[in-house]
Amino acid sequence: MQKEVSCVEKTKRSARAGAAVAKRPSAPHGKSLGQRIRDHWQLYALLLIPVVLTVIYKYIPMYGIQIAFRDFDASLGFTRSPWVGFAYFRQFFETPTFGRMMKNTILISLYSLLWGFPVPIILSLIINQVRFGRFKRAVQTVLYAPHFISIMVICGMIKIFLSPSGGLLNLLMGTQIDFLTKSEAFRTIYIASGIWQDAGWGCIIYLATLANVDPGLYEAAKIDGASVFQRILHIDIPELLPMAILNLIMAAGGLMNVGFEKVWLLQTDLNMATSDVIAVYVYQQGIERAKYSYSTAVGLFNTAINIVLLVIVNKIASKASDVEFV
């Protein structure tokens, strides 16, 4: 028992020392910005490329957001189309299916985050304990592979596996159930397939974090008699925590962005009760019915909710830890 306490105390002291170093104020830089650019112009030149691309493809198109507040007519252009203010936002809020779309979008996103977020962390902790190099690489390859399969193929596989006539799941269960027509099964299908596809890819960043852990911490813990579980609990998890919080903040910023493609491909008239989400509605209104102003207003509302959620989660995370994103 004394050895276990010693191991835990050593880990805590190391963590406190690292935090103290991180919080120590850095010395003021004596060079001006112009001097730093001249000294490291190669790095700034490399930085210029993504900045220019971001401005061109992310910020300049924001000029078109104004059509959410106009009755857009392509022949008149952006500025000459009549101004309608928040009329399209009110129209969306008064839509009979507004409540259902909001509920489905939020629930699918929350359940995906709840069930999907811990899986890459758990996988990385397990893989990090594997000591056989070939087996470890083989497992990583098998876990990463589904990420590179297109959504179209994934949905085709889902339909084959869940087919009432000859589907693998029905053969195992001895039934003939068409799961894709069951609204109560849609969320489970969506979330489970998402975990299978992206969990392996998501653990890469955690494995990279664990690869940078000082081996001396593990050796000291072994000498003090710490078990594998204790080393994971007091060394690995504290090392992963900042990266996990950062990923959580980023995931919260996209909480309302339910994947349109998979929902659209798996959606049927019989599962609309749980598959009717905002992303599909924007596509239907904007592309199929050419209601550009209305669909832009709905998309802008969705984005505004994401920004609010991002700020809230970031503030909560910054109070709970030293990690802050915005």
Give the pLDDT confidence of 164-215 residue by residue, as tens digits: 988 899 999 888 899 999 999 999 999 999 999 999 999 999 999 999 998 8
The residues, ordered by sequence, that sit 6+ positions from 254 with a Cβ below 8 Å of its Cβ are 109, 306
Cα–Cα distance, 257 to 97 (Å, whole number):
18
pLDDT of residue 2: 42
- Outline where the chain has alpha helix (H): 2-23, 33-39, 41-54, 77-80, 87-93, 98-116, 118-128, 133-144, 151-161, 168-173, 183-202, 204-211, 215-223, 228-231, 237-253, 260-266, 272-275, 278-283, 292-320
pLDDT of residue 19: 46
Contact in structure between 275 and 184 (CB atoms under 8 Å): no
List Cα–Cα distances, 166 to 5, 161, 316, in angstroms. 57, 8, 49
Percent of the chain predicted with pLDDT > 90: 53
pTM, rounded to two decimals: 0.79
Helix (H, G, I), strand (E, B) or coil at 97: coil
Q: Two tokens at 212?
A: 């940078």
Cα–Cα distance, 112 to 188 (Å, whole number):
9
| Per-run averaged pLDDT (10 residues), the chain, 326 residues | 46 48 48 85 90 94 92 88 94 94 92 93 93 89 93 94 90 90 93 93 92 90 90 91 88 81 91 92 92 93 88 78 56
pLDDT of residue 325: 52
Q: Tokens 């195992």 belong to which residue?
A: 172
Q: Please say whether the dihedral angle defined by the alpha carbons of residues 248, 252, 257 and 263, taken in this order, is positive or negative.
A: positive
Contact in structure between 205 and 251 (CB atoms under 8 Å): no
